[in-house]
Structure 1
């Protein structure tokens, strides 16, 4: 038997053993209830890192075919503001507006969408708004909002990094009418 073939056999055996030990270890954690799932305790840092990585990779892998329409129309952002105020601010908050108690009690905590708008593309934000995220409390809005409304929310979220609390309050007054 060639040295390479021998090495390959040993490598496969080692990987199978390590994989089996990993599965046994995970099963022990699950069966014994070692990991506390209570909503009053934060996830550990490694768990957050794994969840964030998995979320980012999952969403990024599904962005093909999404083409953002123009979102520079102020009326589109105003429409998005009204939807955001009605459906999003309770959990995510807004400039000068903290999340409601339900949003504050969620784990993982809902993202700061001003930060999300700085870091993620319009297509990424659209995908999350449309499809939601399992086990986070983020609902899928694609069956409750039409395509135009989904992009209106994206147009508003993209403006959040530039909003001050005073500007948000002005948009509130404007949306409420005279």
Structure 2
């Protein structure tokens, strides 16, 4: 018997298959329980599709140099310990048995990281993976943070437990409670330890160029910054994760604790051009003086004595912000200011504020 294919029969067949699929989904027969796992063929197909997708999209979407070159791994290690290790595990640390019950479970990066190029790791970290527990990076525009995390993950396969504990600050917590002149006992030990893991018990950022000096900074500014990170007004996946669970009282206590530590201000350097920008600004560029907002008695953060690499990185981040800016809003002032600073003056200005004379 010959069945003649017609458009009506093809469309009717397709409509019938679609109706059958909807009926199956409506019935609830399909088991979505993570405890049931995947069939082997399903698991293979999903991972095969994911690998092909990452390779294709990373080729077009990742930067040509997606890995940090300065070896700044402390902030990435701290974020990994706080947000990633429970699922992926870490050197000398098994992943959470609860998280490993996900379908699919998070891979062991000490093995899995070898399978991906730097560009592919960058793409996965920036965008996450659908239908898994891997989220996209929590702050848009912070490719600098992703680059550092790529560098850290790339190091994981050969990293010893001692190296991991040192980088993530897990050996710095002892004695942090008593640091400074404020009553740090008002803070839970885990709250303060989470901060000193990256910023150090002395608030000096453990010598890392990407971590600011907090010691001696204005308490009001630090408290406001934590609130801004927590509610998304200030972009940083690392700091957003750290600040999200803090109560207003904990933010206030942390700010007072670090503000009481020595560190800022420092002594300004001798670059005359930078000094002009700090003290008088550049009227021809409509650039106000830094001291008009950041000087003594002003509400904005202390910059004198801050780490030069951190200041320069923040100015370049604001300078490259492609969003429309409303300079009337306080949180949008710095992108406007940064765009008016000549590129060749960013590093000299940062060094001047840091007190470096070279």
Query: What's 1:7 paired with?
Result: none
Query: What's 1:109 paired with?
Result: 105
Query: What's 1:173 paired with?
Result: 171
Change (3 A) 1:70 1:105: closer
CA contact (8 A) 2:111 2:157 kept: yes
CA contact (8 A) 1:60 1:124 kept: yes
Change (3 A) 1:164 1:34: farther
Runs of 5+ unmatched residues, structure 1 = 1-9, 11-15
Query: What's 1:39 paired with?
Result: 34
Q: 1:163 aligns with which of 159, 162, 170?
A: 159
TM-score under structure 2 normalisation? 0.40
CA contact (8 A) 2:67 2:148 kept: no
* Structure 2 residue 49 is matched with structure 1 residue 54: yes
Runs of 5+ unmatched residues, structure 2 = 173-195, 202-358
Distance 1:127 1:70 in 2: 11
Distance 1:34 1:106 in 2: 21
Query: What's 2:135 paired with?
Result: 139
Change (3 A) 1:90 1:162: same
| CA deviations over 1:122-154 (Å, ceiling 9, x no partner) | 111111111111111111115367111111111
| CA deviations over 1:24-49 (Å, ceiling 9, x no partner) | 8x838656655432111221111110
Count, aligned residues: 164
Query: What's 1:118 paired with?
Result: 114
Distance 2:83 2:75 in 1: 12
CA contact (8 A) 1:129 1:142 kept: no
Of structures 1 and 2, the one scoring higher in RCO (CA 8 A, sep 6+) is: 1
Query: What's 1:4 paired with?
Result: none
CA contact (8 A) 1:113 1:160 kept: yes
Matches of residues 1-40 of structure 1 in structure 2 within 5 Å?
27=21, 30=25, 35-40=30-35
Task: Report the more deviating stretch, 152-161 or 88-97.
Answer: 88-97
CA contact (8 A) 2:67 2:118 kept: no
